């Protein structure tokens, strides 16, 4: 082990001894096996932590933050990276110092009713949804990784997914957070009236200073910040300063900075969500598109019907689902997998007529099954002009369409775990373009991929213009790695040319953080950095992500082994 690394471990041992002496109750793990496990998330990066810490409660985290703040004078490399399920695709859940496992112990659901739910960040969304559905309610911003992710990760990334077309992203559903700031104290953060804000700003403490400084930032640069808001239906880039303060309503909401901050501003310990009524009935029009040249036009025809959900995945994902069909027993069980197989027999026979280039899922909700079937059928009628290049399947119930929704939700997991000769390289994985520009954008995107000879799968949220383009690469080879930066530059420039966003859901992290200046310009980037400095002046929370991300650093930490 290099001398510098050995010196760090001596300091970490002393740090951990101090932490234990102060009564830290959680788990502390410095084993090689644990550090290796936590060095990866769902991104293409690798950062090996010095220690993995699983706090038992909020007091443990407060103690940890204070100890890090005190010890940074002798070891400025100390930092804290919060992590729950590790499904982040931008490298936001990995770090080189202390990884804070929020999933192991902070996983309690406290209260759920028809309109709200209160839980800890380490709760898996799959368990959370079971409880909300008992009350006929739903937290609708879950991502495709709904079976793997936690609600804390959803807040950290400002997650969205298949229902965001109808309901919006996580930022619309957070009522209240408890957050530990860099002074080591836990605070309740929620929407405030101007009178309540004035009272907060009168406080002579760290919390008061945060409110004063943030208000000065967002009010002093009000017009510029409001104008910088991306003109797309979903976005997870930067810090959403434009959502914090509204002069017209007099509402000030600091949760809007914490949501999507990837643990760079503070550590969320407690979440209260607003819920919506779960749909009673749903049905899906499945479109097997044999030619994607008209995809942009088709998307805009579909949007006129205001579907609840509009998703899609490409032929590679479809064929991989058939090829690796046995994999679905891990999520459905053997009986569920057998039922799914019976449902898919007609669709497997359909493939003899030609493999579709893309499968589109257009979902409608309604009060009755009849209403849903009518909506699905009317959508099919609207799409008759595309019938020469498409086949249609009307699935008038959720059960009938389940087979395709499973494929869509499991698409990235299949790619990441089951393709052995190439590896997923998510670096242009979350672009958003206003749907009206898709007829021009999509052919230009494909031209870039073809020019660099990249095999890339495409899935995503068609109604939002949000595409997950996942190149499959032999990323351990230098010639392949050399493609990443120029491809990303060209694709980013193309997205911004059409007024899009570089990330609709997956956030910045190590992937898009270095490109924030390109998207927003130097003045807005400076405002983002000011926001970071207000909350975390010592940069102890999740460094090298978002505003201080560095492309050379990111490229130097691409995984070497998969």
Residue 398 has a pLDDT of 75
C-alpha 93/C-alpha 115 separation (Å) is: 30
Residue 457 has a pLDDT of 80
pLDDT at 326 over 60: no
Residue 52 has a pLDDT of 98
Mean pLDDT of 414-443: 81
Lowest mean pLDDT among 228-237, 394-403, 438-447: 394-403
Residue 412 has a pLDDT of 56
CB atoms within 10 A of CB 209: 14
pLDDT at 335 over 80: no
Residue 338 has a pLDDT of 47
Residue 1 has a pLDDT of 37
Residue 340 has a pLDDT of 46
Residue 293 has a pLDDT of 83
Highest mean pLDDT among 129-133, 312-316, 321-325: 129-133
pLDDT at 349 over 80: no
Rg of the chain's alpha carbons, rounded to an integer? 24
pLDDT at 325 over 90: no
Mean pLDDT of 159-183: 96
pTM: 0.91
Give residue 323's pLDDT band: very low, low, confident or very high (50, 70, 90).
Answer: low
pLDDT at 265 over 60: yes
pLDDT at 10 over 60: no
C-alpha 78/C-alpha 355 separation (Å) is: 53
The whole-chain average pLDDT of the chain stands at 89
Query: For 113-170, where are the alpha helices, taking DSSP H only?
Result: 125-133, 151-157, 164-167
C-alpha 533/C-alpha 514 separation (Å) is: 17
HSE-CB of 140 using CA atoms within 13 angstroms? 19
DSSP per-residue letters across 464-475: GTEEEEEEEE-T
Q: Which of 378, 383, 414, 412 minimizes the C-alpha distance to 396?
A: 378
pLDDT at 560 over 90: no
Residue 353 has a pLDDT of 56
- pLDDT tens digits along 355-376: 788 889 999 999 999 999 999 9
Coil, strand or helix at 211 = helix
Q: What angle do CA 408, 546, 261 make, to 5 degrees?
A: 70
Residue 154 has a pLDDT of 98
Mean pLDDT of 268-293: 92
Distance between start and end Cα atoms, the chain = 22
Q: Which residues contact 145 (CB under 8 A, 6 or more apart)?
A: 42, 87, 409, 412, 413
Give residue 319's pLDDT band: very low, low, confident or very high (50, 70, 90).
Answer: low
Q: Based on the number of CB atoms within 10 Å of its own CB, is 439 exposed (0-12), middle (13-18) or buried (19 or more)?
A: middle
Dihedrals phi, psi of 366, to nearest 5 degrees = -170, 165
Residue 475 has a pLDDT of 82
Residue 419 has a pLDDT of 56
- pLDDT tens digits along 212-264: 999 999 999 999 999 999 999 999 999 999 999 999 999 999 999 999 999 99
Highest mean pLDDT among 50-64, 291-305, 358-372, 456-470: 50-64
- pLDDT tens digits along 197-221: 999 999 999 999 999 999 999 999 9
- pLDDT tens digits along 456-482: 888 889 999 999 998 888 888 889 999
The answer to whether 164 and 464 have CB atoms below 8 angstroms apart is yes
Residue 17 has a pLDDT of 94
pLDDT at 511 over 90: yes
Residue 76 has a pLDDT of 92
pLDDT at 347 over 60: no
Q: Which residue has the higher pLDDT, 397 or 189?
A: 189
Q: Which residue has the higher pLDDT, 457 or 113?
A: 113
Q: Which domains does the chain have, with CATH numbers?
A: 3-105 (3.30.43.10), 109-277 (3.30.465.10), 281-497 (3.40.462.10)
Give residue 424's pLDDT band: very low, low, confident or very high (50, 70, 90).
Answer: confident
Lowest mean pLDDT among 170-174, 414-418, 532-536: 414-418
Q: Which residue has the higher pLDDT, 86 or 347?
A: 86
């Amino acid at each position: 082990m290099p001398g510098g690394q050995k010196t760090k471990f001596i300091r970490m041992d002393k740090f951990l001894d101090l932490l234990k002496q102060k009564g830290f109750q959680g788990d502390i793990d410095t084993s090689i096996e644990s550090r290796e496990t936590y060095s990866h998330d769902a991104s293409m990066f690798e950062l090996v932590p010095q220690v993995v810490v699983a706090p038992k409660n909020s007091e443990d985290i407060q103690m940890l933050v204070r100890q890090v703040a005190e010890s940074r004078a002798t070891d400025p490399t100390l930092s804290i990276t919060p992590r729950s399920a590790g499904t982040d695709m931008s490298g936001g859940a990995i770090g080189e110092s202390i990884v804070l496992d929020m999933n192991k112990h902070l996983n309690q659901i406290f209260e759920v009713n028809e309109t709200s739910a209160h839980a800890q960040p380490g709760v898996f969304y799959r368990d959370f949804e079971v409880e909300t559905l008992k009350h006929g309610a739903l937290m609708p911003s879950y991502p495709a990784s709904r079976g793997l992710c936690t609600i804390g990760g959803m807040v950290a990334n400002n997650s969205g997914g298949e229902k965001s077309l109808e309901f919006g992203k996580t930022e619309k559903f957070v009522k209240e957070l408890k957050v530990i700031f860099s002074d080591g104290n836990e605070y309740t953060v929620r929407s405030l009236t101007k009178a309540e804000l004035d009272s907060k700003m009168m406080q002579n403490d760290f919390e008061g200073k945060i409110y004063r400084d943030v208000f000065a930032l967002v009010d002093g640069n009000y017009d510029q910040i409001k104008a910088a808001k991306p003109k797309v239906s979903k976005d997870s880039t930067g810090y959403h300063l434009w959502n914090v303060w509204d002069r017209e309503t007099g509402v000030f909401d600091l949760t809007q900075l914490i949501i999507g901050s990837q643990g760079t501003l503070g550590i969320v310990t407690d979440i209260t969500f607003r819920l919506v009524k779960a749909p009673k009935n749903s049905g899906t029009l499945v479109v097997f598109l044999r030619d994607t040249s008209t995809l942009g036009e088709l998307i805009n025809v579909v949007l006129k019907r205001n579907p609840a959900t509009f998703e899609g995945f490409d032929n590679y994902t479809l064929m991989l689902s058939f090829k690796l069909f046995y994999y679905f027993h891990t999520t459905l069980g053997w009986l569920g997998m057998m039922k799914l197989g019976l449902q898919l027999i007609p669709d497997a026979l359909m493939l003899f007529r030609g493999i579709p280039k893309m499968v589109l899922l257009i979902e409608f909700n309604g009060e009755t099954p009849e209403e849903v079937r009518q909506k699905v059928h009317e959508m099919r009628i609207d799409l008759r002009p595309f019938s020469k290049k498409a086949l249609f399947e009307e699935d008038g119930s959720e059960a009938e369409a389940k087979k395709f929704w499973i494929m869509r939700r499991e698409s990235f997991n299949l790619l990441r775990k089951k393709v052995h000769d190439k590896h997923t390289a998510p670096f242009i994985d979350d672009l958003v373009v206003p749907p009206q520009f898709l007829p021009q954008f999509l052919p230009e995107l494909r031209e870039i991929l073809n020019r660099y000879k990249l095999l890339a799968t495409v899935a995503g949220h068609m109604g939002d213009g949000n595409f997950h383009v996942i190149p499959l690469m032999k990323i351990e080879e230098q010639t392949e790695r050399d493609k990443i930066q120029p491809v990303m530059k060209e694709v980013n420039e193309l997205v911004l040319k059409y007024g899009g966003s570089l990330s609709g859901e997956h956030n910045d992290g190590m992937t898009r953080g270095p490109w924030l200046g390109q998207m927003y310009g130097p003045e807005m980037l400076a405002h983002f950095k000011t926001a970071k400095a207000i909350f975390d002046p010592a940069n102890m929370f999740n460094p090298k992500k978002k505003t201080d991300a560095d492309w050379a650093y990111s490229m130097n930490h691409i995984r070497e082994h998969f």
